[in-house]
Amino acid sequence: MLLCAHHHRVIHQGDWQVKIAPDGLPEFIPPRYLDPDQQPRRNIYHRRQ
């Protein structure tokens, strides 16, 4: 599981974008009003071993 139910809804109902990085993991891109540079973010809680 990459996101809890609440944050899953935030991604789909908000202005966030999700893309799959070259290494196959998802990156979450925040809307400009939260991060003007829209730096991709990852869920580092669940890392692949």
For the chain, the average pLDDT equals 85
Give the up-direction half-sphere exposure of residue 43: CA atoms within 13 A in the CB hemisphere: 16
Mean pLDDT of 31-41: 95
Environment class of 11 (CB within 10 Å of its CB; exposed 0-12, middle 13-18, buried 19+): middle
Give the up-direction half-sphere exposure of residue 32: CA atoms within 13 A in the CB hemisphere: 0
> By residue range, what is the domain housing residue 16?
1-49
Q: What are the structure tokens assigned to 41, written together?
A: 């973010």
Largest CA distance in the chain: 34
How many domains does the structure of the chain reveal?
Answer: 1
Mean pLDDT of 21-30: 90
Question: Is the pLDDT assigned to residue 41 strictly greater than 70?
Answer: yes
